[in-house]
Amino acid sequence: MQISEVVALAQALMRCPSVTPEDAGALDVLQKNLEETGFVCHRLTFSDEGTPDVENLYARFGTAGPNFCFAGHTDVVPVGNADAWSVDPFNGTIKDGTIYGRGAADMKAAIAAFATASKRFIKESGEEFAGSISLLITGDEEGPAINGTRKVLDWMAENGEKIDHCVVGEPTNPQELGDMVKIGRRGSFTGYLTVIGTEGHVAYPHLADNPVPHLAAMVGALDALVLDDGTEHFQPSNLEFTTIDVGNPATNVIPKSANATFNIRFNTHHSLDSLEHTIRGVLDSVAELRGCHYELDCRKNSSPFLTPEGDFSALIVEAIEKRLGRKPELSTTGGTSDARFIKDFCPVVEFGLISQTMHKIDEQANVADVEALTDIYTDILRSYFVTQG
């Protein structure tokens, strides 16, 4: 079976066990490919206290504007139980027209499509197109996301590297290639709630203050909270409790404290600060009513964003329709991605492969989809530089 250029590159990337924060040679493979095309590459390693060092890559072909950027990540999540896989998770095995392995869907095959599409476009255009193509690739998307994309973006700003539009290659399609383009993402807010009581013997409750009923009341109040009804582009904001913990092994001891953790995925009706104000207001009311004390640690993970429908999203949709005969839904569903950092620098959308098997055993991508994605990315570049020129 003859392997296409894009699939061979995807296999080479997938054969690097780059589980966050390890690079395992993945950026070397990509850099070699890009330099052969004429890209100038910058390897950027960033550090931060309490986090592992992370390698990143910024590569650019051309020096003029506009600068069209492809963004993504070579890091992957752990394979889990390797014995449960039907193939070696780091071999890029092809069976019956499907490539298997960690990173097939999320998102090494899409990165191979970036590089191959850029090479095709540059080869057919020479150096005559008006602008530049860049790739922003991190090794810290699946991890803390501290030493990755946002620090690369800061480095770019400090070094006069401006990007004008960006496509992130996350797996956006629920069922078939061309189902969905992400034009925004909800924000993420995490709350760590602790209710402080007074420890004591269960036979003498009047000498103690049990934090568990107080916590239950607070959990109930927050669970009943209706944040909004959604917007034209976003579903309603949603608060979900992820754990409730007391850590008390004794059945005859009233615990000193009780804890709960919740996460809110929220739309543009709210900001991170306004959410905190709302949550504290609810908790203050319960605490006053019950005469109890609580502590709330807030982690303001990311703000919601929307790239308004317009020429850029239309260009992406047209390229998909041309190749697949399918008009994608413009959506803001799903979790977070590094687009949340890029949106502060330029308009950004996300489009990649099918998402069904990402992070799963036997993660996979259809070879025909990888090749079609490469064609779509190539058409996006063609249309972009015609319209920008």
Query: Active-site positions?
Result: 75, 141
Give the span between the Cα atoms of 98 and 101, in whole angstroms: 10
Q: How many residues does the chain have?
A: 389
Give the span between the Cα atoms of 313 and 306, in whole angstroms: 11
Count other Cβ atoms within 10 Å, centred on residue 374: 28
- Among all chains, which residue has been given the structure tokens 């501290």? 146
Q: Which residues contact 303 (CB under 8 A, 6 or more apart)?
A: 187, 271, 272, 340
Give the span between the Cα atoms of 175 and 154, in whole angstroms: 36
Q: Report the greatest alpha carbon distance in the chain.
A: 84
Pick the closest to residue 63 from 185, 192, 160, 190 (CA basis).
160
Q: 315, 380 in Cβ contact below 8 A?
A: yes
Q: 101, 13 in Cβ contact below 8 A?
A: no
Give the span between the Cα atoms of 108 and 143, in whole angstroms: 16
Q: 84, 123 in Cβ contact below 8 A?
A: no
Helix H or strand E segment including 302: strand 293-302
Question: What's the burial of 311, exposed, middle or buried (CB within 10 Å: 0-12/13-18/19+)?
Answer: exposed
Question: What's the burial of 177, exposed, middle or buried (CB within 10 Å: 0-12/13-18/19+)?
Answer: buried
Helix H or strand E segment including 310: none
